[in-house]
Structure 1
Amino acid sequence: MSKELVSALNSLEEDKGIKKEIIVEALEAALTSAYKRNYGQAQNVEVEFDDKKGNIHVYAVKKVVEEVADSRLEVSIKDALELNKGYELDDEIKFEVTPKNFGRIAAQTAKQVIMQRVREAERTMVYNKFSKYQDELITGEVERQDGHFVYVDLGQVEAVMPAGDQIPGEVYRPQDKVKVYVNKVEDATKGPQVFVSRTSPGLLKRLFEEEVPEIYDGTVEIVSIAREAGDRAKVSVRSNNPDIDPVGTTVGTRGQRVQTIVNELSGENMDVVEWTDDNAQYIANALNPSEVVDVIFDPENERACTVIVPDYQLSLAIGKKGQNARLAAKLTGYKIDIKSESEVSGNSSDIIEDNE
């Protein structure tokens, strides 16, 4: 068993990256507990493991005292001096008490410790790997689905995609390849837990970075994203190079770049609008494709405004079930009150607020 154990420790260090010293320390602690459990709980013992030869020794540690009250914990100064003239009161002496049949218990204990350390090391490795992928895009394979979750194999770990992170109407079949956004990585008791999403705005940002080199290298910057996943999204962009049109670059020739993303997201419509530090113009851009006549800011609320549109553009500005205005509000961070020109006199209108 000795040679086998030393060989196993060396292999673990080479193959799993688990330092031998860590396992030896854990093994000695476990063997100490095993000895006390089987041979005498009251004793103060230490177990030493020779990681070169694999030998295991158990020592009873006794304190040098004038008079012995408990022979399991103490040794008299008289007996100590017979062993070594250098001993003094309160010194600690180790007496070997290794049982003859301790090898069997040691072997079982060593196996348990090694298996536990291997599991812990593998968990740590997986957690460290996937924690680096947090807020990133990764391609996985659909494994299965139940009433609440889609389970995605990312290699080494099974990620979960909750119902709220699944695109409405999207079908996930086993063995389908799917791009997901890593929302969160937890070091849970049962092992690393990875949560992924198809509805996060972060997914859309990473898809644009993949598809548009100018966004990836920072020439064009995504300022804000508002999504109603699977249906429609608005993305505002700005250029850090005055010679590059941010919207045209992002959309691509004949819309090819944005169409690739639309296809990836099951037909989710994309409005790409230009960000500007002129808030009125930015809000007007965000309400695309509607025309905007004027933007009037509320003097009592710096994040609220009234947007005036031509009468015939009112429905377009608000959008189906208020979606266009709602996404514009999320994109800009403004509370938007949309009125037609004929309503400016004071008639009420729907108010769309940024709920984020």
Structure 2
Amino acid sequence: MSLVSLPGLKEMIDEISRGHNLPKSAVQEALREALIKGYERYRRSQQMNNRQPFSDDYFENFEVELDTEEEGFRILSKKLIVEEIANTDHHIALKEVQEVTSEAQVGDSVVLDVTPDQKEFGRMAAIQTKQVLLQKLRDQQRKIIQEEFQDLEGTVLQARVLRFERQSIIMAVTSGYGQPEVEAELPKREQLPNDNYRANATFRVFLKKVRDGSNRGPQLIVSRAAAGLVVYLFANEVPEIEDEVVRIVAVAREANPPSRYVGPRTKIAVDTLERDVDPVGACIGARGSRIQAVVNELRGEKIDAIRWSPDPATYIANALSPAQVEQTLLINPEERQALVLVAENQLSLAIGKEGQNVRLAARLTGWKIDIKDAAKYNPQTEEQKPEEVPLGEVDLVLEEEQKGDEEIKLETREEE
């Protein structure tokens, strides 16, 4: 059998495998694809004057066999056995095959060595193959990354800052399977304002998305602003959550507030079916040690842990913490509209700076919340026009459709 010599083939495969962090099998597959592409270009160059050029799928029945011991490769072709040959690349005559084996029949297939016995092909294959090989290696890396990290979407990984590209940060992450680090992108919108992203600094990041393998650049999109990161941090700090004694029902997070005068803030609703367990106290910990560990990881982000309740009125009142609510009226349960009455000195606290507290409470509960001063509220005059509302009252309604991407809703269950 003929062989196109490739001196140092085995060493080349080993070197590429180490340099690109790829298994040898992936390197060999990329090399085979590149070599068959080189053969295809060689054949097309031989037929440049042919009036009927090769079709796009003409070479699908060809493949490359690598021989690392002999340091070379062969071109093999799978041919169909026919009575009369119409295409010598795809067909072989029955009479010719029966000279080797009498059991051959029309319609069977055979694999034949069709390696050109030409030195010119070897030189051209090397030239044509080099650039194709680099692309195939990149494709193999993307494929492996996609397969490895696809199942890790929605989990938290350890990441290290590598470099800065425009407003994004390129980080190195590990999968936890002992594989080498791969690059991930932390976009501007997924960064925390209080983080100090310096070279080689390490962070916990939430794997938000694995891009399709055809994209250039990092395939992994990670986040420091995702609500899932808060869930992971609490589960890591609170044993009761890991043991499923305490459960996280909902999370509403505003890691990048619309105004620079407002800091990042998160509200987390927790619950338990154990009567002798305080879910909020479990999350806070002794002297606030557990929640402080989460706050430190998020660089000082304010976190409110509140008790979930199956009663919407109680749940809404809890969600407006730290404000004290006097009364919650469910004015339109079908459209999930609620009216909350608070004392005058609690009004600004319930609303929060630039409306952040009530905005997060609305996202957490899924209700549209209207806050009013209890002392000035009169049910008889509730239908008055907006311009007739006395100064000092606040009518703040948040549409449920405005809920951001960084909100997590988990299925609730009734208390036993």
User: How would you bin the TM-score normalised by the shorter chain?
Assistant: 0.7 to 0.9
Identity of aligned residues (%): 33
Aligned-pair CA distance for 1:257: 0.5
Aligned partner of 1:33 in structure 2 is 40
The 8 Å contact of residues 127 and 192 in structure 1, kept in 2 or not, is answered as: no
The 8 Å contact of residues 36 and 64 in structure 2, kept in 1 or not, is answered as: no
Aligned partner of 2:151 in structure 1 is 132
Aligned-pair CA distance for 1:26: 3.5
Of 238, 241, 252, the residue aligned with 2:271 is 238
- Measured at CA, do residues 81 and 125 of structure 1 come closer, stay the same or move farther in structure 2, by a change above 3 Å? closer
The 8 Å contact of residues 266 and 360 in structure 2, kept in 1 or not, is answered as: yes
Aligned partner of 2:410 in structure 1 is none
The question of 1:179 aligning with 2:204 is answered: yes
SS of structure 2 residue aligned to 1:140? strand
Q: Which amino acid aligns with 1:307?
A: V
* Alpha-carbon distance in structure 1 between the residues aligned to 2:145 and 2:364: 36
Unaligned runs of 5+ in 1: none
Name the stretch that deviates more: 298-307 or 100-109.
Answer: 100-109
Name the stretch that deviates more: 188-197 or 112-121.
Answer: 112-121
- Measured at CA, do residues 238 and 111 of structure 1 come closer, stay the same or move farther in structure 2, by a change above 3 Å? same
* Alpha-carbon distance in structure 1 between the residues aligned to 2:92 and 2:282: 85
Aligned partner of 2:406 in structure 1 is none
Q: Deviations over 1:210-268 (max 9, x none)?
A: 11121123221111111222522111000133321100001100101001111121211
Aligned-pair CA distance for 1:70: 9.3
SS of structure 1 residue aligned to 2:212? strand
**Structure 1 length normalisation: TM-score?**
0.80
* Alpha-carbon distance in structure 1 between the residues aligned to 2:278 and 2:395: 34
Aligned partner of 1:98 in structure 2 is 116
Aligned partner of 1:299 in structure 2 is 332
The question of 1:158 aligning with 2:158 is answered: no
The question of 1:144 aligning with 2:151 is answered: no
* Alpha-carbon distance in structure 1 between the residues aligned to 2:355 and 2:81: 82
The 8 Å contact of residues 18 and 121 in structure 1, kept in 2 or not, is answered as: no
* Alpha-carbon distance in structure 2 between the residues aligned to 1:133 and 1:81: 52
Aligned partner of 1:351 in structure 2 is 396
Aligned partner of 2:369 in structure 1 is 336
Q: Which amino acid aligns with 1:224?
A: A
Aligned-pair CA distance for 1:69: 9.6
- Measured at CA, do residues 21 and 343 of structure 1 come closer, stay the same or move farther in structure 2, by a change above 3 Å? same
* Alpha-carbon distance in structure 1 between the residues aligned to 2:12 and 2:280: 60
- Measured at CA, do residues 27 and 351 of structure 1 come closer, stay the same or move farther in structure 2, by a change above 3 Å? closer
* Alpha-carbon distance in structure 2 between the residues aligned to 1:193 and 1:149: 13
Of 205, 228, 232, the residue aligned with 1:206 is 232
The 8 Å contact of residues 233 and 268 in structure 1, kept in 2 or not, is answered as: yes
* Alpha-carbon distance in structure 2 between the residues aligned to 1:81 and 1:252: 81
- Measured at CA, do residues 142 and 35 of structure 1 come closer, stay the same or move farther in structure 2, by a change above 3 Å? closer
* Alpha-carbon distance in structure 1 between the residues aligned to 2:12 and 2:161: 36
Aligned-pair CA distance for 1:76: 9.9
**Structure 2 length normalisation: TM-score?**
0.70
- Measured at CA, do residues 320 and 159 of structure 1 come closer, stay the same or move farther in structure 2, by a change above 3 Å? same
Aligned partner of 1:227 in structure 2 is 253
Q: Deviations over 1:322-354 (max 9, x none)?
A: 222111111111001111212321464322314
The 8 Å contact of residues 80 and 107 in structure 2, kept in 1 or not, is answered as: no
CA RMSD, aligned part only?
Answer: 4.1
- Measured at CA, do residues 83 and 39 of structure 1 come closer, stay the same or move farther in structure 2, by a change above 3 Å? farther
Aligned-pair CA distance for 1:39: 3.4
* Alpha-carbon distance in structure 2 between the residues aligned to 1:142 and 1:48: 41
* Alpha-carbon distance in structure 1 between the residues aligned to 2:30 and 2:124: 17
Q: Which amino acid aligns with 1:163?
A: K
SS of structure 1 residue aligned to 2:230? helix
Aligned-pair CA distance for 1:49: 3.8
Q: Which amino acid aligns with 2:192?
A: I
Of 209, 215, 221, the residue aligned with 1:195 is 221
The 8 Å contact of residues 59 and 97 in structure 1, kept in 2 or not, is answered as: no
SS of structure 2 residue aligned to 1:293? strand
The 8 Å contact of residues 171 and 186 in structure 2, kept in 1 or not, is answered as: yes
Aligned partner of 1:218 in structure 2 is 244
- Measured at CA, do residues 72 and 311 of structure 1 come closer, stay the same or move farther in structure 2, by a change above 3 Å? closer
* Alpha-carbon distance in structure 1 between the residues aligned to 2:331 and 2:345: 25
Aligned partner of 1:253 in structure 2 is 286
* Alpha-carbon distance in structure 2 between the residues aligned to 1:299 and 1:318: 21
Q: Which amino acid aligns with 1:121?
A: Q
Aligned-pair CA distance for 1:159: 1.7
- Measured at CA, do residues 217 and 117 of structure 1 come closer, stay the same or move farther in structure 2, by a change above 3 Å? farther
SS of structure 1 residue aligned to 2:170? strand
Number of positions where the alignment pairs a residue of Structure 1 with one of Structure 2: 354
* Alpha-carbon distance in structure 2 between the residues aligned to 1:221 and 1:38: 67
* Alpha-carbon distance in structure 2 between the residues aligned to 1:109 and 1:158: 29
The 8 Å contact of residues 32 and 66 in structure 2, kept in 1 or not, is answered as: no
* Alpha-carbon distance in structure 2 between the residues aligned to 1:82 and 1:166: 70
The 8 Å contact of residues 123 and 191 in structure 1, kept in 2 or not, is answered as: no
- Measured at CA, do residues 103 and 204 of structure 1 come closer, stay the same or move farther in structure 2, by a change above 3 Å? same
* Alpha-carbon distance in structure 2 between the residues aligned to 1:246 and 1:338: 27
Unaligned runs of 5+ in 2: 175-180, 256-262, 383-388, 404-416
SS of structure 2 residue aligned to 1:206? helix
SS of structure 2 residue aligned to 1:331? helix
